[in-house]
Amino acid sequence: QVQLVESGGGVVQPGRSLRLSCAASGFSFSSYGIHWVRQAPGKGLEWVAVLWNAANDKYSADSVKGRFTTSRDNSKNTVYLQMNSLRAEDTAVYYCARDHGNDYEFDYWGQGTLVTVSS
């Protein structure tokens, strides 16, 4: 069955970096895009970024542009979210979600990983 598993969250100081992973299984990984969506404690969902298979086929939210980058390793069925220059407002649960393409997005989600930015 389709599974997405996030990892790499934790407590990090402001200005430091962290890399999240989203490991996929149960589907033909290279054919799909992967979104990152975050949710600050007690708040709503915020879209962060999406990455397709082509290296330049990616988009990100203005709030993270220049600080967060996405990449993927199809041999490991994994997408990464490299987060640099972290701020307190980046504190959130980070989810990855699958994108079929063809106007069919967010059909499977991981359980999320918590990132806390605090000194």
Residues that bind another protein in the complex, under the rule CB under 8 A? 35, 37, 44-47, 50, 59-63, 95, 97, 103-107, 109-112
Of 73 and 107, which has the nearer Cβ to another protein? Answer: 107
In the complex, least distance from residue 119 CB atom to another protein, rounded to whole angstroms: 27
CA 39 → CA 43, 46, 55, 94, 107, distances in Å? 6, 6, 26, 7, 18
Least distance from another protein to the Cβ atom of residue 93, Å: 9
DSSP state of 73: E
How many angstroms separate the CA atoms of 73 and 86, rounded? Answer: 24
How far CA 8 is from CA of 16, 31, 63, in Å, comes to 14, 24, 21
3-class SS of residue 113? strand
Nearer Cβ to another protein, position 55 or 119? 55
Give the nearest distance from C-beta 91 to another protein in angstroms.
17
Q: Is the CB of 4 or the CB of 83 nearer to another protein?
A: 4
Residue closer to another protein by CB (options 84, 100) is 100
